[in-house]
A and B are shown apart, each in its own frame.
Chain A
Amino acid sequence: AAGVIQSPRHLIKEKRETATLKCYPIPRHDTVYWYQQGPGQDPQFLISFYEKMQSDKGSIPDRFSAQQFSDYHSELNMSSLELGDSALYFCASSLGRGGWNTIYFGEGSWLTVV
């Protein structure tokens, strides 16, 4: 079965640069979530989109933005990168929103800021 696809899988950027992560949800899924997991930390919810509209917002820094496109894929844009942004970024998707809809995760994108 198709899963959530994330690209790139690994990314190295310098401080103050910009990075863009892409997420392709499971086919027919209309809801996308972004999570950040720092070294030794648990995943932290950043932001979500439902039907191309921002739906919920977590601990996403102001330097980050995201959007969901007409084909339901999503991109997370990170600007003015800091060393502390080095983390594993997960995208997840679900069909519909709400507690009864199972959320499936991608394998993540490793961002290293040097």
Chain B
Amino acid sequence: DAKTTQPPSMDCAEGRAANLPCNHSTISGNEYVYWYRQIHSQGPQYIIHGLKNNETNEMASLIITEDRKSSTLILPHATLRDTAVYYCIVSSYSGGGADGLTFGKGTHLIIQP
């Protein structure tokens, strides 16, 4: 699976949009971009994923660049409960196994009141 690079930490004011970048310059054509978050010692929570088109759900939006080498997770109106470590993960379908997700270092997003 391709590696990802994320800033170790970010701050965002409550009520503002939080934009979390992720670089995945070695991504291959069959690899999806997943975002998960982990609130202190809880199970990682699925947020959103995409292949090449931008995606939106009730939690967030995912913007993937045209060359697919980077993406941005957008939390439109951040709240204090959004404080968490956010993981950008690239995952492929190998066809030969149930690939687990490879977690990198993630971004610790701190929402400031």
Contact = CB atoms under 8 A, between A and B. Distances in A.
Interface of A: 4, 31, 33, 35, 42-46, 48-50, 55-56, 58, 88, 90, 92, 94, 97-100, 102-108
A49 B98 contact: yes
Q: How large is the interface on B (under 10, 10 to 19, 20 to 34, 35 or more residues)?
A: 20 to 34
A102 B93 CA distance: 12
A14 to B, nearest CB: 23
Contacts of A42: 87, 103-106
Interface stretch (B15-23, B43-51, B64-72, B73-81): B43-51
Nearest to A30: B98
Nearest to A57: B97
A36 to B, nearest CB: 11
Contact of A33 (B51, B93, B98, B105): B98
B98 A50 contact: yes
A90 B42 CA distance: 9
Contacts of B87: 42
A87 B101 CA distance: 18
Contacts of B113: none
A99 B41 contact: no
Given A99-B32, A99-B92, A48 B97 contact: yes
